[in-house]
Amino acid sequence: MLKLGFSHASPADVEREAGRIADPVERLRYLRKHGTATVQGVLPRRRPNWKLQAVIAAIALPAALGVVYWTLPSARAPEAVKVPSILVARPAPNQIWQVETSGVEEVYSNGLRIDLSFATRLRPRAEYPVFALAGASQPIATDRTPRGIVYHTTEGDMVVFEKEEHQKIERAGHQLLRYVRQQHSYHYLIDRYGRVYRVVEESDAANHAGFSVWGDERGVYVNLNDSFIGVAFEGSSSKTDDVTGAQLSAARMLTELLVSRYNVRPEDCVTHAQVSVSPSNMRLANHKDWARAFPFAAMNLPDNYRLPVWAVEAFGFSYDEDLVGASGGKPWPGLVSADKKLLEAAASQGADEIRYRGMLRHRYQEILADAKARQLQAEAEARENRQRRN
């Protein structure tokens, strides 16, 4: 067990102080400054700051002409002090409903169509643990509801997207579908014509995220196959410009459905490169799909590349030149800010960077062992259930 002591102004202090500021813009500025300036505030800092949300809503709503303010693009982005200019509509829980199912297709009220002809099962989604940002290696909670979405590309060579190549495009798409179905690679695949295929049932885990880490104000999640939904674009991470307009609009509708169905938070809709890790060398982004240029805006999402990478902050992962190259020659803002937070946290502990990373990594290894044991147990249970049914 690893204990890290923290001494900072509590969120309650900050809120009390903020309450004394009459001007809402000044108050917002103060809250944002103090809500983001603290280092490693463990979980209390990440509790929903309703007062802050209310202030923002009061400022943002009149300007938004009826558009519902979703949330802060990044409550943790260090540089953000001004009122966000992008206002996004967040679908309310169960706002999108199924209007038709034929057994081969589901149709939803937002226009989304899901092709069921390749749908298969892997094993029921297991109860997944939620960990505190720092402290003990035991979970602070468990859950079964998907917390977010991980976006992927399928990789592989792409056929030129031209009318004359239609047959080749179709052939490649079907080959890919058969492959990802066999591998249980994702929950959804969006082909180049924007057709959405369910690959693995949402009730089940899919093999999409492997070793991975993400988090939100409720805690940190490790290995996201059970806790996140995997959505893949047929495409290549080196040629993300090739993603078609049809794919973008289908992905937006699918995102809308999943956000509505599971009450997903916008900060939990991220890319594989943002969550992927390699425990063997403690580097980030073992998988680099969508290391850059994910069209968050087209998904009606805030720019989540701004969010500090949780694997760095919570577990001391680092990144190398390969990732910088994949992200376009410059690390995305959340990588930089996560490193900065880590260094600040180390300094506040009076530890040097190497020793501090070592402590975080030790905790990760303990948590990983626990996650592996849970996964093996879930697989064994699924096997037993299958045998019992046969």
Q: Cα(190)–Cα(173) distance, rounded to whole angstroms?
A: 10
* Minimum distance of Zn ion from residue 285's CB (angstroms): 10
* Minimum distance of Zn ion from residue 230's CB (angstroms): 8
| Listed ranges 11-19, 34-42, 54-62, 149-157: which one lies at the site for Zn ion (CB under 5 A) | 149-157
* Minimum distance of Zn ion from residue 228's CB (angstroms): 11
Left if phi > 0, otherwise alpha if psi is -120 to 50, otherwise beta: which for 379? alpha
| Listed ranges 120-128, 186-194, 270-278, 352-360: which one lies at the site for Zn ion (CB under 5 A) | 270-278
Left if phi > 0, otherwise alpha if psi is -120 to 50, otherwise beta: which for 2? beta
Q: Pick between residue 93 and residue 325 the one whose CB is nearest to Zn ion.
A: 325
**Closest residue by Cα to residue 148 from 34, 24, 272:** 272
Q: Pick between residue 152 and residue 261 the one whose CB is nearest to Zn ion.
A: 152
In the list 152, 261, 292, 341, the residue contacting Zn ion (rule: CB under 5 A) is 152
For β-strands 228-233 and 141-143, DSSP reports them as unpaired
Q: Pick between residue 152 and residue 195 the one whose CB is nearest to Zn ion.
A: 152
| Listed ranges 163-171, 244-252, 267-275, 316-324: which one lies at the site for Zn ion (CB under 5 A) | 267-275
* Minimum distance of Zn ion from residue 174's CB (angstroms): 20
Sign of CA dihedral 364, 269, 257, 261: positive
Termini Cα distance of the chain: 43
Q: Which residues contact 264 (CB under 8 A, 6 or more apart)?
A: 146, 147, 148, 149, 258
Measuring CA to CA, how many Å separate 389 from each of 380, 383, 385? 14, 10, 6
CA 218 to chain centroid: 13
Query: Residues 34, 76: contact at Cβ < 8 Å?
Result: no
* Minimum distance of Zn ion from residue 185's CB (angstroms): 8
Considering CB under 5 A, how many residues would be counted as binding Zn ion?
Answer: 4
| Listed ranges 99-107, 236-244, 264-272, 366-374: which one lies at the site for Zn ion (CB under 5 A) | 264-272
Tokens of 185: 């690679």
* Minimum distance of Zn ion from residue 270's CB (angstroms): 11
* Minimum distance of Zn ion from residue 57's CB (angstroms): 35
Burial of 355 from C-beta contacts in 10 A (0-12 / 13-18 / 19+): exposed
- Identity of the residue numbered 355: R
* Minimum distance of Zn ion from residue 213's CB (angstroms): 14
Site string for Zn ion, 276-295 (x = CB under 5 A): -----------x-x------
Q: Pick between residue 14 and residue 299 the one whose CB is nearest to Zn ion.
A: 299
Q: Pick between residue 147 and residue 152 the one whose CB is nearest to Zn ion.
A: 152
Within the chain, what is the greatest distance between any pair of CA atoms? 68
In the list 123, 272, 288, 357, the residue contacting Zn ion (rule: CB under 5 A) is 272
- Does residue number 181 form part of the binding site for Zn ion (CB under 5 A)? no
Q: Cα(344)–Cα(350) distance, rounded to whole angstroms?
A: 10
Tokens of 200: 């693995």
Q: Pick between residue 180 and residue 250 the one whose CB is nearest to Zn ion.
A: 180
Residues 25-84 that bind Zn ion (CB under 5 A): none
Q: Pick between residue 287 and residue 374 the one whose CB is nearest to Zn ion.
A: 287
Q: Pick between residue 260 and residue 304 the one whose CB is nearest to Zn ion.
A: 304
Q: Pick between residue 34 and residue 272 the one whose CB is nearest to Zn ion.
A: 272
* Minimum distance of Zn ion from residue 154's CB (angstroms): 8
Element (DSSP H or E) covering residue 56: helix 50-63
Q: Which residues bind Zn ion (CB under 5 A)?
A: 152, 272, 287, 289
